[in-house]
Amino acid sequence: MLLFNILLYVHIASAIVSIGPLFALFSILKRMETAEESMLIGYVQSFQAGITAVKHGGHVLVLSGALLMWRGGWPWHTSWLIMTFALLIGSTYFLASAFKPTMKTFGTTQFERTKFITKLRRSTWLYVVLMLIMLWFMVAKPILW
């Protein structure tokens, strides 16, 4: 029982780490809109650090979730678990394909500040929605089939 409680605490804390920084990114994006060119690199680096925190929080979230499934006795074929894993796989692909290509344009001839910020803002909102849907599956554990 103690191991399960520790795993649950780690899982909840990692969910906070994998979702929380996303909301701070909106503030960074807002500041990017009016920042001087010399200050923009600091905001871009801060944004990247936020994405890195989300990514690593997600790694702990997946591992602790798998251990909770093992210790909690839930069958791996339940609908909420399958949907959570489907969203997890989708969000992993999304995280890599949505942010990385956009971030790589910074400091190149393809960089356009307005497009850059718009893409990052849209990707951040989409990722927040994906994470909140996943959170709903994990908390509500709906039986879909």
Spatial separation of the C-alpha atoms in residues 137 and 140, rounded to whole Å: 6
Q: Is 120 exposed, middle or buried (0-12, 13-18, 19+ CB in 10 A)?
A: buried
> Is residue 130 a part of any domain in this protein?
yes
The distance in angstroms from the start CA to the end CA of the chain is 30
DSSP letter for 1, please: -
> Is residue 79 a part of any domain in this protein?
yes
> Is residue 110 a part of any domain in this protein?
yes
pTM score, whole prediction:
0.86
Q: What is the pLDDT of residues 20-54, one digit of tens each?
A: 999 999 999 999 999 998 999 999 999 999 999 99
Q: What is the pLDDT of residues 59-91, one digit of tens each?
A: 899 899 989 988 888 888 899 989 988 888 888
SS3 state of residue 76: coil
Q: Into how many domains does the chain fold?
A: 1
Residue range(s) defining the domain that contains residue 90? 2-140
> Is residue 145 a part of any domain in this protein?
no
Residue tagged 């909140």 (tokens): 132
